[in-house]
Amino acid sequence: MTTRLPLIAAHDREALRGLYARGWEPQAETTARVAEIIATVRREGDAALAAYTHRYDTPNLATPPLAARIPTTAAARTVLPDRVAEALELAHDRVAAFHRRQQIGDRYHVDDDGTVSAMLIRPLGAVGAYVPGGTARLPSSVIMAAVPAKIAGVDRVVVVTPPRPDGSIDPAILYACALCRVDELYAVGGAQAIAALAYGTATILPVDKIVGPGNLWVTEAKRQVFGICGIDGLAGPSEVLVVADESADPRLVAAELVAQAEHDPLARVAVVSDDRTLLERVADLLASPFATECGREATVTHVLEHGTYLIAARDRHEILDVIERFAPEHLHLAVRDPWSISAAVQSAGAIFAGEQTPVACGDYLAGSNHTLPTSGAARFSSGLRTADFERTVSLIANSTARMEHDAPLLEAIAAFEGLPAHARTARLRRKGTTA
């Protein structure tokens, strides 16, 4: 059991500094080591991938295979428990439905003078999805990346995932790849997999964007290759903020905190409420066997001792202030009227409204994407969505009337900015002008 946690006043910014910490700041040693791995993969290609895989994942397999065959869905399903297969199938269908609703298509507008302006939607050519597969096997991450990519029209969806010690890939990940029509699958993980996706090797051709969760090394590698290709974001440890009122069940509130705590020893979990009695009951539960009876005791205990916050607010204003300052990855509203609070929230990765909507729904079966911004990034970014696998291209077609009207003004502003050749392109289109 852990020490009983104290309540923290919502206006005590110093006590909540750890909760509000933002950004991605790996240690210099990690940054240097990842840079070395990326440089080695760029220089040595497949040989480097094989060497790193042997060192970190398959110590008893001297020459681990890189490419993996994706079985048929029927064949892959036979080795999975029925309930797991059914859950993955349901997740696939709901994620597909949710992300299809996000499609907008090309948009054209014609002004009164006949000028056409448009926003054209074009899919990315190739996307790489990193899927954890070592100590944490996450077939759900295949679905969260591959399904919206396919809906967007991406031609080539590539999955990389660490192999098991014998060089094979977890059967659930294989089934998810088959279910999602993944085009290529490689048994390689870590920063080296990110380097391969960004720069390419003889076996793995480069991609346009890399998405998906990963550990410290993977995330730092994504940061370092950004610009060579796109990335979805820099995902830090898991986060949850539960907003609770007097109607909330303390056991359900405590359970949400523990559920996120089991993800990562660096997770940040918090509850904010204007009901001190509720907070005291949650504190009692977290100091009891309830907190660790599900397992992963070491990880959960570490988070409860170092990354858990029970926040006492005086009113709704303070509750909303905590939400915006934290900008949590997951926001669970365990309140009588979740809609009034959700309408006021500006910064959160995903909102789970009401007692019957645990955050775990979003991890698997809700249909929304579980790749979400962390470390305050919800202030300026969104969870993974169909648009992340698309680009917009602007199209303008001036009418003669529009160009005649704009030419002198276009010439003037271009000349003012010191770009005479720009000005000439406008001048040449003015009636009666030859130079």
Query: Among 308, 244, 302, 299, which Cα is nearest to 270's?
Result: 308
Distance CA 309, CA 306 (A): 9
Catalytic residue among 99, 330, 332, 370: 330
Distance CA 168, CA 185 (A): 12
Distance CA 168, CA 58 (A): 10
Catalytic residue among 184, 220, 256, 329: 329
Distance CA 311, CA 149 (A): 39
Q: What is the dihedral of CA 142, 148, 150, 152, to 10 degrees?
A: -160
Tokens of 155: 């031609």
Question: Catalytic site residue 329?
Answer: yes
120 CB-near residues (< 8 Å, 6+ apart): 106, 392, 393, 394, 395
Question: Catalytic site residue 239?
Answer: no
The burial class, CB within 10 Å (0-12 / 13-18 / 19+), for 394 is exposed
Phi, psi of 156 (to 5 degrees): -135, 110
127 CB-near residues (< 8 Å, 6+ apart): 145, 149, 154, 156, 157, 158, 207, 208, 209, 210, 211, 389
425 CB-near residues (< 8 Å, 6+ apart): none
Residues 142, 176: contact at Cβ < 8 Å? yes
Q: Which residue reads 């602007």 in tokens?
A: 394
Tokens of 30: 């990690």
Tokens of 430: 């003015």
Q: Which stretches of 72-204 are DSSP H helices?
A: 73-77, 82-100, 139-152, 171-179, 190-199
Calculate Rg over the CA atoms of the chain: 26
Residues with catalytic roles: 329-330
